[in-house]
Structure 1
Amino acid sequence: MDGDFSVLDPDDVEQEPFAMCDVRHRKLTEALGCTEMRINTATLEPGEATPPHAHEGQEEVYIALTGGRVEIDGEAHDVPEGGVVRVGPEPIRAVRNDTDDEIHRWVMVGAPPVGTVEDFGNTVLPGEESP
């Protein structure tokens, strides 16, 4: 074994809001030493959602730790606890918590790791020009 691995408790990484919204997340990429992907956790309070967006050149996988809802190209999809969603670079996506009393938690993985740990780069909001 070459020792190229990491074990991390996400609670050891400080939460902060995404740059484009108030949804809290933990940036795990650097803490895990990832070089070929970006990984975050996101916590959505009741009524919160990420803005609809796409990532040019980056595929994403969302893992629902608690269940939740993903909106892809305007269509809502319920995701069960433990469910996994793959979204290619082009579709407009958002993660939503439409409940009144539940907290939704997600793991979000993007590859290749466009941008930087601090600046997700190539995030495209509908109606805006590509970076």
Structure 2
Amino acid sequence: MAREGVSLTTALGRGMRRKCPCCGKASAFRGYLKIVDACPACETPLSLYPCDDGPAYVTMLLVGHLVIAPAFLLHIFYTYPLEVVLPTMVMSMAVLTLVLLPFVKGAFLSLLWYLNLKAVR
């Protein structure tokens, strides 16, 4: 299934760049996480696609696997004192979450747009 000649990988790439999944020209965000009502370039109504909790859950899952799993595999928890490891892990997880969240939300928006999963109002 393709939406208006746009492949899924193209739509996801545009979303990860925080652009409109339909045209890829204008920004899909007007702030850090706020999605525009409609694309200024192609008038696609982006606010109809519900991107509330899904991107946060995906980001937490991704960050958990990127930080906690290597810490156990590299024996960081067993080698260094807990007073050093825990603050470092918490800070790295917080920073990584804040950095990745807008890009995951853009990809999530693109996936919803591609599958045409609009909110029921």
Question: For the superposition of Structure 1 and Structure 2, which TM-score range results when normalised by the shorter chain?
Answer: under 0.3
- Larger fraction in helix: 2
Larger RCO (CA under 8 A, 6+ residues apart)? 2
Give me the TM-score of the superposition, normalised by structure 1: 0.25
